[in-house]
Chain A
Amino acid sequence: DAKTTQPPSMDCAEGRAANLPCNHSTISGNEYVYWYRQIHSQGPQYIIHGLKNNETNEMASLIITEDRKSSTLILPHATLRDTAVYYCIVRVDNQGGKLIFGQGTELSVKP
């Protein structure tokens, strides 16, 4: 299973863009990159996912490098409510399409 590497923690000023990096150098060609976040001990919340192309939705943008070995999640205008643990996950295409979680990045948005 492809593993991901994320920094354990990051800070961001409120109103600024938060850029969360993720390394997934062993990703296979048909495996998706997913981002989830978890606020306190709530259920993980889906943010965005992508395969090769950059993706954008109402929450965030996902930038995937051309070789697909790394990606960046961008929260364009971080708010205090974006403080959470962010998980970058490579989704295994077989074996039930399961998500294997790493340790994630604890993002603190500060006033």
Chain B
Amino acid sequence: NAGVTQTPKFRVLKTGQSMTLLCAQDMNHEYMYWYRQDPGMGLRLIHYSVGEGTTAKGEVPDGYNVSRLKKQNFLLGLESAAPSQTSVYFCASSRGPGNTIYFGEGSWLTVV
């Protein structure tokens, strides 16, 4: 049982490049989330999903897109990366409200 796995763990992008972060969970969870964390700050919610084929905006959705084509995967895309998107990205999943939310180990993204 791997829990929540994020790929890649580290990436350096040039401004304007695109990339996709993959989050995979093997716990058959309905709910999945993408957060970002900037230095010295708490986590901020980017987008979330309450089931396969559904997505919704969080606190800071601009500049990101997401897709949940399969229940176990939640993809976070940056279409045109900007230096302001340099951050640590965390994925999380949960069975539903009232249940524990489990986090991945993070993906470090630097945009130069």
Contacts and interface: CB of A to CB of B under 8 A. Distances in A.
Interface in B80-101: 88, 90, 92, 94, 96-101
Contact of B50 (A36, A43, A96): A96
Interface string A32-76: 101010000111111001010000000000000000000000000
B75 to A, nearest CB: 17
Given A95-B56, A96-B31, A46 B42 contact: no
A41 B106 contact: yes
Contact of B97 (A44, A91, A102): A91
Interface string A74-105: 00000000000001000101111111111110
Nearest to A95: B56
Contacts of A103: 41-42
Contacts of B106: 41-43
A100 B59 contact: yes
B64 interface: no
Q: Name which of A32, A36, A87, A96 has the most chain B CB atoms within 10 A of its CB.
A: A96
B48 A98 contact: yes
Given A87-B42, A103-B41, A104-B42, A46 B102 contact: yes
B104 A43 contact: yes
B58 to A, nearest CB: 7
A102 B58 CA distance: 15
Nearest to A87: B42
A97 B98 contact: yes
Interface string A6-18: 0000000000000
Contact of A97 (B4, B42, B58, B96): B96
Given A41-B88, A46-B100, A101-B42, A96 B33 contact: yes
Interface of A: 32, 34, 36, 41-46, 49, 51, 87, 91, 93-104
